[in-house]
Chain A
Amino acid sequence: MRKPFPRFEDGMSDDGYVELQVASNFSFLRGASHPDELVSEAVRLGHRAVALTDHNSLAGVVRAHQAAREHHCRFVPGCRLGLEDRPSLLLYPIDRAAYGRLCRLLTRGKRRAEKGDCRLTYADLREHGEGQIVVALPPERCDAGFRAFLDELARDFGDRAYLGAQHLYRGDDAKRLQRLSRLSEQSGLPMVALNDVRYHRPERRRLLDVMTAIREHCTVATAGLKLLANAERHLKTPTEMARLFRRYPEAIRRTGEIAARCRFSLDELRYEYPDESSDGLTPQQRLERLVAAGVRERYPEGVPDKVAALLRHELTLVAELNYAPYFLTVHDIVTFARSRGILCQGRGSAANSAVCYCLGITAVDPARLDLLFERFISAERNEPPDIDVDFEHERREEVIQHVYAKYGRERAGLAATVICYRARGAMREVGKALGLSADVVQRLAETVWGWSEEPIDDRRARELGFDPEDRTLRLALELAGELIGFPRHLSQHVGGFVITRGRLDELVPIENAAMPERTVIEWDKDDLDAMGLLKIDVLGLGMLTCIRRAFALIERHHGRRLDLATVPAEDAAVYDMLCNADSVGVFQVESRAQMSMLPRLKPRSFYDLVIEVAIVRPGPIQGDMVHPYLRRRDGKEPVEYPSEALREVLGKTLGVPLFQEQAMRIAMVAAGFSGAEADRLRRAMATFRRTGQIGNFRDKFIGGMIANGYPKDFAERCFQQIQGFGEYGFPESHAASFALLVYVSAWIKCHYPAAFAAALLNSQPMGFYAPAQIVRDARAHGVEVRAVDVNRSDWDATLEPVEGAAPALRLGLRQVRGLGEEPAQKLVQHRASGYRSPIELMLRAGLGKPVLVRLAEADALRSLGLDRRRALWAVKGLSDDALPLFEGLPPAARQRPEAEVRLPEMRLGEHVASDYAFLDLPLKSHPMALLRRRFAREGVVRAADLAHLDPESLVDVAGLVLVRQRPGSANGVIFATLEDETGVANIIVWPDAFERFRAELMGATLLLCRGRLQREGIVIHVIAERLWDLSNRLGELRDPEGTRPPYAPTELSVRSRDFH
């Protein structure tokens, strides 16, 4: 006899019904509502508790839990478990321990399966079954096997086993329920009412049908019986459920009973930092010792008072909040990296603390910088400190594996990133599911530039020549709009580690990542924040690799040893260079937008760089804060503060909010938000689908500021800025860390341009510019650049000493397109005193013919006395089987004797084209230089001439198209960059001109632009009025006789960076 269980406390409605079988869109493509939609709708329908049972997953529980907390509703976490050898069932942990077992169970299933899959057997379930309530889900036909399964459950789970029953409007529901009721009596498992919820409202049926079609790779029209026959899988009111189960009131009552038995709440999860105590010291003591040692190292001449005071303050705060273990963990990781010679740099609110500087986590000297806001650790918010650490991109994996090795896979895992449907993908999938032709789908999807979250609207559709009244098209647009923001799959966070003291796999399930040797938890960073779980970001940064390489070259060739902290500070020459927008290759400030900002901002100090990094971002631009700031800086506008309270917040930025922290502080100081509210605001901005909530925040924010006496337009701009920050908000704390790398890379470029260029080339692909521009820039700075050669080059670019001058840059074999590192290294290894003929390369270095062909085409055999064409002829003539008969003879004798053939001399134009084709850069000349005579005749000016021409004059300028960009914030304006032999010209194409010259702009490799010259200081633009595609002139360059087919885009392959 089963004991009666207490009814669910907390004033349940009379029916006592709780939805126990609910799949959200985290049951990928099986549920058509967000977890929070399900919870809030359940509350609206009068439910006092609701469960979530996604397929083999707990990925959605945190969101549901948060929503439930907001709506004062009880939440029962669970999951639907698929077993390989038994029917599926629902599982609910009754307490914390059982929850841990469920996590471990799922972890086991996921770790042994491919990514995204879960393989479990009944034996696994039984092993982890303690404290789990199970509800068997009846299959289509309840046969003897199912009967036996129920007996098994009764035996193994006793009174924690139930039999689920659903009313699905399939015609035979009455009979089915009766059969199940009989089965329930026979097996002793009480029957419990379920509703198999897949969406919160019936309207979502269409979306679920579409998702089913996507899942089954068919169209909705052909999916047929794979779709559900009706729209009944929505949440129902307790009354309606009671009516459907009117003959089985006990089944309804038991739902409440199960909810009541599951006492576990996610609030019980407690995060504990890994235990970092050792040698009998408490973590705090250990931290203080390490900091003291660090102080001696950082400040050998004695610590400045300001820093000493900061340290005392910070350490007290750390002790108070018990954060010492966290700092120790980061310190350990950083120490590990340093022991391997891996360059790293911390960032984030806590990273720029004096403590972190002394621990070596950051190289930003707090003495050099007015320490940022008191936001280092916010005591009242009890939010974990935020430190991200950037490591050299190429060696980050070593750090990651160190973390796994030190803490074990049960205690460390990467956070997940929920990959959601974006407009483009949603449009594509929905269009396909609705049977639109591939062409139409492609066209619809293409209308979304970049990663927009905005659904495609009717106006847009009409612009594209679609009839928005067309029903299928309208459905596609509508449903794609609904699908946007749905999770698509879980991916790994770029480097966010969760490390715990106890077992991580009892906190959240862990699964395999797509990358080998990586394991990922099921929750993303928002979930972790919500649960108060600590994350350490172990990120990769290409620029650190580059800086390390440059340091190594400088040490070797100039005998000067440097690291991030010892690069001389505040060097005027470096700032002069930056003020001239001479920043190709410099971290963060090399983009075109940054380059045009530099001369306007005129950075003269480290803090100016911090602002420079943060100002060219969507937040300040959309909030229209950039120009006011520049005007005030130039003294064209008085610096004033909207209020005394804001003087403190905005003092450092001349009264204009530029940083994310400032925007949040304004919400608190001026609009009266609490800290938690401000944080919620920031989060809401990051998540577009809660657009409904943004309206509320907006009213509260602007209303609050007006009530506090601020002008309305200022309030509105502040709000717009917060909106612009969204997910890409740039906090001052990050900007400060980046600014250091800006400074260091600029310093290297300024003083050691050859080393800088070599390091950049050796770190490709990275940054904004291709090798061609890096080399051009190096030459412009007086660096002698030497060609790739089989007898001189290493794999990497190197420096070659020059008597009485700065070293020259020797390009590396890595520049040869399509040449692998392995043959290149073999070539270098076997070089000895040098190669004298192609056959030696083949025999001594063991290089195959295709490799030799690449080298020949790259013109790397010059030191053998062979130019490109003759080298190619010679190499092609080598026989693959290298005449083994003559082994032992000198290589020259092992060649087949051949009659001399005279090949036509290679023209300079052909060489230039081949340089592009096989080295990606022009070495012997620039194509524009070869074409200049004709262009000059036609009145086309050089890029360098633009600086001397009258503003507003009409100019013709031509060049290779390097970049085409259409920034989301620029209203359809396109920015293109043209390169000629003297430099680059920046072109702006307004949308109407774009429409007329679309083909020219998008198709040209060599573009001629006629337009108005605009000049502001040293920033020059040409506003395009007409464009011509002159790419065929490049073809003529190579082949003046015209024996080749009309110019094909692949021919002279200048690779441009395009926006589509």
Chain B
Amino acid sequence: MRRVMSLWLPSWPIERRRRPSASRSASPANPVLVADWVGGRGIVTAVDPGLADSLTPGMALADARAMAPQAVVLNADPAGDAAALARLAAWCGRYSPWTAPDQPDGIWLDLTGAAHLSGGEHVLAEELIGRLKRFGLSARAAIAETPGAAWALAREGSAGIMAVPEGATRVALAPLPVRALRLAAETAELLDRLGLRRIGDLYKLPRPALVARFGFATAERLDQALGLLAEPLSPLPPAPIRSSHRRFAEPIQRPEDLAAATASLAEALCRRLAEAGAGARRLALNFYRLDGVVLTLEAGTAQASRDPRHLARLFAERLDRIEPDLGIEDMRLTALLVEPLGGEQAPLDGTGLGDGGADATLAALVDRLENRLGAGSVGRYRPRDSHIPERAAERVPALTTGAGGTPWQPDRLRPVRLLPRPEPIEATAPIPDDPPVQFRWRRRVHRVRAADGPERILGEWWRDPGEPALRDYYCVEDEEGRRFWLYRAGLHQAGTTPRWFLHGFFA
């Protein structure tokens, strides 16, 4: 006999975000509202249980605000809710091999033949609900012969854990309101208007009359709940196996053998990754030594990869660090972090750096350099959207995709080298905004032979008040032909000596 549990998390979008890492603004003292913004208008999508007396989902945020000004409003995140629910469903796998998220706020557990392992349905349900409570999640559960009945009872049944014995489904459902049948809202509304308010009211109706007015879907939901019609549920896919393993007949010691074994492990792993449509970003290679010691090498890739030669090479250069001692009897290669990676279709357009793994050779080179020099040691510059010179470029990992939305500004005169922080100089310049005639930098005097400027750049006022004020930049060339980028901080003011800085070099 089939036994299905429906778990209902009535405040899921609220409570999942109230958990420890919740948003900064959501102090536990204040009740929380979740709202979605539709064309500039806020609609409440979930309400803290503490506010449920006066507020309901679907009302305008402005109304909710007027009634509960103390509430903290979070933006709705249905995708995040769904993903977290899927994770929670997977976690429920400890109670049943067969679980599935029931979007948007429930979980299915098929307990057929599984409940006794936890001491029976009631014990299982109580423990599950207790654990969820410790997570900060309120939940209700019901167990019945059909998913539909379990769903209905979890939501509309009496408080406490409901477990409907075999054969009692029809009776148990009869007093519940019709909306417990998972009907479309308008169908439930229509039934209500006709005075057909309880599921039991529907038992009496001639089937053709029911179908004619409420559609096949309604009849089907009723049949599913009563077990007259099978309802398959789609479970979560099992987690893919992400490691390859090899046990050697004879312990191995020679570096060539280690390398060959690594290569074959990589090939096996890559086959599995290919089946899962994934590529590895972080890998661990374990060596199980005869003396019980486990040695580990880790490696990372700049982009997801399942090229066995490339993966093997990431370790090959460091295999000499492994002391085989008496010999290695076992090796395991595990992908610690994987990302989706499409099929083996080589790009035809030959696009270069960073474009979705097109230039695999470059990616491989970057990986090798990074694995040798240390993570984060290979980078490139990318233009940023700012007038402030030191903010106009940023260093990003070498294979970061995309240009960041801003093109380089070739029309702007910018030095080849920009000092990490501008260095003070002493300069002599006619007022109010002529370039300096000479300046002293690091105890050397430079006479200016030619100059251009000023380029006037103002601080970004919306940042901190300490933001640099006005700068007038000049490009100057000294008598030896060296070119510098200088600036005067602030406008010239009578009675004060303006401060000058050197910010970069042109050659």
Residues of A participating in the B interface, judged by any CB pair closer than 8 Å: 140-141, 169-172, 174-175, 205-206, 209, 220-225, 227, 229-232, 434, 438-439, 442-443, 446, 471-472, 475, 857, 869, 872-873, 876-877, 879, 896, 898-899, 901, 903-906, 910, 914, 998-999, 1002-1003, 1029, 1039, 1041, 1043-1046, 1048-1050, 1060
Asked whether B293 is an interface residue with its Cβ less than 8 Å from the other chain, the reply is: no
Report the separation of the CA atoms of residues A220 and B213 in the bound assembly, to the nearest whole angstrom: 56
Chain B contacts of A169 at CB under 8 A?
454-456, 472
Contact A877 B209 (CB under 8 A): yes
Given A205-B458, A1044-B192, A1048-B56; A175-B208 close (CB under 8 Å): no
Closest chain A CB from B436 CB (angstroms): 15
Report the separation of the CA atoms of residues A857 and B194 in the bound assembly, to the nearest whole angstrom: 10
Contact A876 B454 (CB under 8 A): no
Asked whether B406 is an interface residue with its Cβ less than 8 Å from the other chain, the reply is: yes
User: Counting chain A CB atoms within 10 Å of each CB, which of B73, B453, B454, B462 scores highest?
Assistant: B462
Chain B contacts of A910 at CB under 8 A?
195
Asked whether B177 is an interface residue with its Cβ less than 8 Å from the other chain, the reply is: yes
Contact B462 A434 (CB under 8 A): yes
- Chain A's closest residue to B65 (CB) is A446
* 8 nearest CB pairs, A to B: A224-B385, A171-B455, A169-B456, A904-B195, A999-B67, A1002-B66, A229-B387, A876-B213
Closest chain B CB from A173 CB (angstroms): 8
Contact B37 A471 (CB under 8 A): no
Contact A225 B386 (CB under 8 A): yes
The 8 A CB mask of B434-466 against A (1 = contact, 0 = none) is 000000000000000000111111101111110
Report the separation of the CA atoms of residues A229 and B190 in the bound assembly, to the nearest whole angstrom: 62
Contact A230 B456 (CB under 8 A): yes
- Chain A's closest residue to B41 (CB) is A442
Report the separation of the CA atoms of residues A446 and B62 in the bound assembly, to the nearest whole angstrom: 8
Contact B193 A1002 (CB under 8 A): no
Question: Which of these, A230, A438, A443, A475, contacts B470 with CB under 8 Å?
Answer: A230
Contact B461 A1003 (CB under 8 A): no
Report the separation of the CA atoms of residues A225 and B67 in the bound assembly, to the nearest whole angstrom: 43
Report the separation of the CA atoms of residues A794 and B472 in the bound assembly, to the nearest whole angstrom: 78
Asked whether B68 is an interface residue with its Cβ less than 8 Å from the other chain, the reply is: yes
- Chain B's closest residue to A1042 (CB) is B177
Report the separation of the CA atoms of residues A1050 and B65 in the bound assembly, to the nearest whole angstrom: 17
Report the separation of the CA atoms of residues A140 and B196 in the bound assembly, to the nearest whole angstrom: 73
Q: Which residues of B177-204 have CB atoms within 8 Å of chain A's CB atoms?
A: 177, 179, 190, 192-198
Report the separation of the CA atoms of residues A741 and B218 in the bound assembly, to the nearest whole angstrom: 57
Contact A471 B206 (CB under 8 A): no
Given A439-B73, A857-B193; A999-B62 close (CB under 8 Å): no
Asked whether B141 is an interface residue with its Cβ less than 8 Å from the other chain, the reply is: no
Question: Which of these, A172, A229, A896, A914, contacts B457 with CB under 8 Å?
Answer: A229
Report the separation of the CA atoms of residues A471 and B464 in the bound assembly, to the nearest whole angstrom: 8
Chain B contacts of A221 at CB under 8 A?
460, 462-463
Chain B contacts of A472 at CB under 8 A?
462
Contact A1039 B197 (CB under 8 A): yes
9 contacts between A and B (CB under 8 A): A169-B454, A169-B472, A223-B385, A438-B42, A898-B208, A903-B194, A903-B195, A914-B193, A1048-B56
Closest chain B CB from A466 CB (angstroms): 12
- Chain A's closest residue to B70 (CB) is A465
Contact B413 A172 (CB under 8 A): yes
Given A471-B465, A1048-B56, A1060-B66; A1043-B177 close (CB under 8 Å): yes
Known: A169-B455, A1003-B54. 11 other contacts (CB 8 A): A221-B463, A225-B386, A225-B387, A225-B409, A227-B387, A442-B42, A869-B194, A872-B193, A899-B206, A905-B195, A1043-B197
Closest chain A CB from B492 CB (angstroms): 13
Chain B contacts of A175 at CB under 8 A?
452
Chain A contacts of B384 at CB under 8 A?
224
Question: Which of these, B68, B194, B198, B464, contacts A873 with CB under 8 Å?
Answer: B194
Report the separation of the CA atoms of residues A1050 and B58 in the bound assembly, to the nearest whole angstrom: 9
Contact A876 B190 (CB under 8 A): yes
Chain A contacts of B213 at CB under 8 A?
873, 876-877
Contact B196 A903 (CB under 8 A): yes
Asked whether B328 is an interface residue with its Cβ less than 8 Å from the other chain, the reply is: no
Contact B193 A171 (CB under 8 A): no
Residues of B participating in the A interface, judged by any CB pair closer than 8 Å: 35, 37, 42, 52, 54-56, 58-59, 61-63, 65-69, 72-75, 177, 179, 190, 192-198, 205-206, 208-209, 212-213, 384-387, 406, 409, 411-413, 452-458, 460-465, 470, 472-473, 475
Contact A229 B456 (CB under 8 A): yes
Chain B contacts of A879 at CB under 8 A?
212
Chain B contacts of A1039 at CB under 8 A?
192, 197
Question: Which of these, A222, A896, A1045, A1049, contacts B385 with CB under 8 Å?
Answer: A222
Contact B456 A1049 (CB under 8 A): no
Given A140-B411, A898-B209; A872-B194 close (CB under 8 Å): yes
Report the separation of the CA atoms of residues A221 and B385 in the bound assembly, to the nearest whole angstrom: 9
Given A877-B209, A903-B195; A220-B462 close (CB under 8 Å): yes
Contact B193 A869 (CB under 8 A): yes
Chain B contacts of A999 at CB under 8 A?
54, 66-68
Closest chain B CB from A576 CB (angstroms): 41
Chain A contacts of B470 at CB under 8 A?
230
Report the separation of the CA atoms of residues A172 and B412 in the bound assembly, to the nearest whole angstrom: 9
- Chain A's closest residue to B198 (CB) is A1043
Closest chain B CB from A32 CB (angstroms): 14
Report the separation of the CA atoms of residues A634 and B39 in the bound assembly, to the nearest whole angstrom: 54
Contact B195 A869 (CB under 8 A): yes
Report the separation of the CA atoms of residues A140 and B412 in the bound assembly, to the nearest whole angstrom: 12
Given A999-B68, A1049-B56; A171-B454 close (CB under 8 Å): yes
Contact A901 B195 (CB under 8 A): no
Chain B contacts of A209 at CB under 8 A?
461-462
- Chain B's closest residue to A174 (CB) is B452
Chain B contacts of A170 at CB under 8 A?
455-456
Contact A438 B75 (CB under 8 A): yes
- Chain B's closest residue to A913 (CB) is B193
Closest chain A CB from B479 CB (angstroms): 21
- Chain A's closest residue to B387 (CB) is A229
Contact B190 A230 (CB under 8 A): no
- Chain A's closest residue to B206 (CB) is A899
Contact B456 A232 (CB under 8 A): yes
Chain A contacts of B456 at CB under 8 A?
169-170, 229-230, 232
Contact A1003 B455 (CB under 8 A): no
Contact B457 A225 (CB under 8 A): no
Contact B61 A1003 (CB under 8 A): no
Chain A contacts of B69 at CB under 8 A?
998
Given A169-B456, A877-B209; A225-B406 close (CB under 8 Å): yes
Chain B contacts of A899 at CB under 8 A?
206, 209
Closest chain B CB from A73 CB (angstroms): 27
Chain A contacts of B59 at CB under 8 A?
1049
- Chain B's closest residue to A994 (CB) is B66
Chain B contacts of A475 at CB under 8 A?
462
Contact A1002 B58 (CB under 8 A): no
Closest chain B CB from A435 CB (angstroms): 8
Closest chain A CB from B363 CB (angstroms): 29
Chain B contacts of A1044 at CB under 8 A?
177, 192, 197
Closest chain A CB from B216 CB (angstroms): 14
Closest chain A CB from B468 CB (angstroms): 13
Report the separation of the CA atoms of residues A175 and B409 in the bound assembly, to the nearest whole angstrom: 18
- Chain A's closest residue to B455 (CB) is A171
Closest chain A CB from B173 CB (angstroms): 13
Closest chain A CB from B501 CB (angstroms): 16
Contact B458 A231 (CB under 8 A): yes
Report the separation of the CA atoms of residues A1039 and B196 in the bound assembly, to the nearest whole angstrom: 11
Chain B contacts of A174 at CB under 8 A?
452
Report the separation of the CA atoms of residues A185 and B406 in the bound assembly, to the nearest whole angstrom: 37
Question: Which of these, B61, B74, B195, contacts A442 with CB under 8 Å?
Answer: B61
Contact A901 B177 (CB under 8 A): no
Closest chain A CB from B256 CB (angstroms): 55
Closest chain B CB from A876 CB (angstroms): 4
Chain A contacts of B475 at CB under 8 A?
171
Chain A contacts of B206 at CB under 8 A?
898-899, 901
